[in-house]
Amino acid sequence: MKFRSFLIVANILVGFHSTAQTWSGDVAQIFYDKCTKCHHSGGAAPNSLMTFNEVNAMAGLVYQCINQNEMPPWPPDNNYQQYLHDRSLTSAEKTTILNWLNNGLPEGNASSTPPPPVYTNNTFLGNGDLTVQIPTYMSKALTHDDYVCFSIPTNLTQNRTIKAVEVVPGNREIVHHALVYVDPTSAENTDTIGGNCASPSNATTKLVTGYTPGATPMILPSIDPLKLGIDVGPGSSIYLTMHYPMGSYGAYDSTKVIIHFYPVGTTGVRQISAGPLIADNNFNLPANQVTNLTAQFPGGSTGLPASYSVLSVFPHMHLLGKNIKAYAFKPNMDTVKFVNVPKWNFMWQDFYFFQHMQKVPNGYFLKGEATYDNTTNNLNNPHNPPQNVSSGFNTTDEMFLVYFHYMPYQNGDENYDLNQYVNASVGEYYNNITGDISVSPNPFNHGCDITLPKKLSADDHVYIYSASGELIRKLPCINGVQSLHWDGFNEQGKELGNGVFFVSARIQGELLSKKIMKLD
């Protein structure tokens, strides 16, 4: 019924436009912006949605997923707080796609379809300074999820400081999540036997970051005046906890973690910490009941002893979770908002990095509020009939944790535009994609000349994408011109920091791409 009335509304909306939306004119770019990061061949999603034909073939499911807000997956409420790497569709984008589907998916002029982002299916950031890889492991997740832990020595002989971490799943289809820790004394053990190793055994083992499908590598700001890092000392190991979902039995994985360090001797790097500051490790959820829990940090009646800058938030529950919220407060003072997930989805969890660091002044408390539905109304309830569930590591147990990346506050922290810093590069990048486009100079500092193999017509497109597939700039294509200049600025007129970018062009229907690198 809902579906029907929506169709009518959508058709009325379309009636107001003189020309219907087309794939080439209106829709392709939305897919590139919001879907193809996961939906490309070799990506985190099972099907590619890069081309008109691919979308056409699954139009019904695409309609359903978008109409019901299931895709793109983006659980946090953007009205509560804004994050980097936001995946959600704007309401205008959603209407455009649905109208287009309702109108029979007109393709438009195929040769003027905008050129897509370039995915390398390998790494965003290229070779780092240290790569650790788990031995090839076969998932044992037949009737239960498989949780296993690996301890891998870094073999470092001196202290190094992390500036970026990229988790590269060995098998994107079965790696549900991975958490990366630094174990300073190599005290942890590899544990692949019981299938329920979900966290380290020692308090000294420190969380660095996590991976979930579609996640962006953790790139810390690493340019003056904001250099952030995490130390890794000699004798340390990387500790990786892996989660393979039920049904993945027999599939192999060998996930690796690529770590980028600051050059030895870099000064002025501020250490950040990560951890579940908000936590309740001792609770019960009676069967057939909805239960609300709250947790606070610090416990007791005095708030934080100092002010902190918070970079990210990662709320965590299991299958009974219904909603979760985290914020900082002090009686009679403004609340600092971290995250609100109104409809919890176990499948989609992530560290959400804020667009601006959140200042939590001293005297404040961090607070989490979570609701669990242990009734038959909860379709994800692993028990039927419902059973009493308590806190624990198994997926069928429950958890109430909110992780943060944070550091001691310094004046002005809240004013940094982290988007800009995160676009910045982290050093080495792997092999160039070759093509008939020539770029000079490459790498470049403040501008480069892009020469195409053919003369352009006004119907062609030459776009600049970031390495993570974000559209940065559309270069004007003038009839008869064969060389274009990119000044290193984005569509909003702001110069980008250093990083890897792709020129992606569609010229007389032919796709071409070229990797370019901008330096400071």
Residues contacting 174, CB < 8 A, separation 6+: 139, 244, 245, 248, 251, 253
* Minimal distance, residue 440 CB to ligand HEC, in Å: 34
Contact region with ligand HEC (CB under 6 A), list: 68-76, 231-239, 434-442, 509-517 = 68-76
CB 372 within 8 A of CB 324: no
Cβ–Cβ contacts within 10 Å for residue 376, how many?
A: 13
Cβ–Cβ contacts within 10 Å for residue 224, how many?
A: 8
- Residues that contact ligand HEC, how many (by CB under 6 A): 22
Q: Which is nearer to ligand HEC, 66 or 230 (CB)?
A: 66
* Minimal distance, residue 67 CB to ligand HEC, in Å: 10
Residue that is written with structure tokens 């939906």 in the block: 39
Contact region with ligand HEC (CB under 6 A), list: 65-73, 110-118, 121-129, 274-282 = 65-73
Tokens of 46: 């099972």
Q: Which is nearer to ligand HEC, 28 or 503 (CB)?
A: 28
> How far is CA 211 from its chain centroid?
8
* Minimal distance, residue 23 CB to ligand HEC, in Å: 13
Residue that is written with structure tokens 């202290």 in the block: 159
Cβ–Cβ contacts within 10 Å for residue 449, how many?
A: 14
Contact region with ligand HEC (CB under 6 A), list: 38-46, 279-287, 365-373, 460-468 = 38-46
Q: Which is nearer to ligand HEC, 75 or 214 (CB)?
A: 214
> Residue 203 class from Cβ within 10 Å (0-12 exposed, 13-18 middle, 19+ buried)?
exposed
* Minimal distance, residue 358 CB to ligand HEC, in Å: 24
Q: Which is nearer to ligand HEC, 50 or 230 (CB)?
A: 50
Considering only residues 10, 27, 28, 71, which one is a binding residue for ligand HEC as defined by CB under 6 A?
A: 71
The amino acid present at 279, given as its one-letter code, is A
**Interface with ligand HEC includes 39 (CB under 6 A)?**
yes
The pattern of x and - marking residues 341 through 360 that bind ligand HEC according to CB under 6 A reads ------x-------------
* Minimal distance, residue 37 CB to ligand HEC, in Å: 5
Q: What are phi and psi of 473, to 5 degrees?
A: -160, 140
What's the rounded Cα separation, in Å, for the pair 48 and 35? 9
* Minimal distance, residue 438 CB to ligand HEC, in Å: 33
Per the document, the length of the chain is 520
- Within residues 290-349, the interface with ligand HEC by CB under 6 A covers 347
Considering only residues 10, 27, 28, 66, which one is a binding residue for ligand HEC as defined by CB under 6 A?
A: 66
Residue that is written with structure tokens 């971290």 in the block: 338
Region of residue 215 (phi > 0: left; psi between -120 and 50: alpha; otherwise: beta)? beta
- Within residues 73-112, the interface with ligand HEC by CB under 6 A covers 73, 87, 89
* Minimal distance, residue 60 CB to ligand HEC, in Å: 8
Query: Rounded to the nearest 10 degrees, how much is the dihedral formed by the CA atoms of 179, 342, 393, 402?
Result: 60
Considering only residues 23, 29, 37, 506, which one is a binding residue for ligand HEC as defined by CB under 6 A?
A: 37
| Bond preceding residue 72 cis, omega within 30 of 0 | yes
**Interface with ligand HEC includes 515 (CB under 6 A)?**
no
CB 354 within 8 A of CB 84: yes
CB 496 within 8 A of CB 470: no
What's the rounded Cα separation, in Å, for the pair 454 and 438? 12
Residue with the closest Cβ to ligand HEC? 214
Q: Which residue from 447, 510, 518, 515 is spatially nearest to 483, judged by alpha carbons? A: 447
Considering only residues 46, 265, 305, 480, which one is a binding residue for ligand HEC as defined by CB under 6 A?
A: 46
What's the rounded Cα separation, in Å, for the pair 172 and 43? 7
* Minimal distance, residue 286 CB to ligand HEC, in Å: 30
- Within residues 164-193, the interface with ligand HEC by CB under 6 A covers none
- Within residues 7-36, the interface with ligand HEC by CB under 6 A covers 34-35
Q: Which residue from 134, 213, 217, 123 is spatially nearest to 175, judged by alpha carbons? A: 213
Considering only residues 44, 279, 290, 433, which one is a binding residue for ligand HEC as defined by CB under 6 A?
A: 44
Q: Which is nearer to ligand HEC, 214 or 315 (CB)?
A: 214
**Interface with ligand HEC includes 45 (CB under 6 A)?**
yes
Q: Which is nearer to ligand HEC, 38 or 230 (CB)?
A: 38
Q: What are phi and psi of 499, to 5 degrees?
A: 165, 175
- Within residues 211-240, the interface with ligand HEC by CB under 6 A covers 213-214
Q: Which is nearer to ligand HEC, 40 or 518 (CB)?
A: 40
The amino acid present at 467, given as its one-letter code, is A
Considering only residues 7, 13, 65, 279, which one is a binding residue for ligand HEC as defined by CB under 6 A?
A: 65
**Interface with ligand HEC includes 368 (CB under 6 A)?**
no
What's the rounded Cα separation, in Å, for the pair 155 and 162? 15
CB 10 within 8 A of CB 99: yes
Q: Which is nearer to ligand HEC, 114 or 213 (CB)?
A: 213
Give residues in contact with ligand HEC (CB under 6 A): 34-35, 37-39, 44-46, 49, 58, 61-62, 65-66, 71-73, 87, 89, 213-214, 347
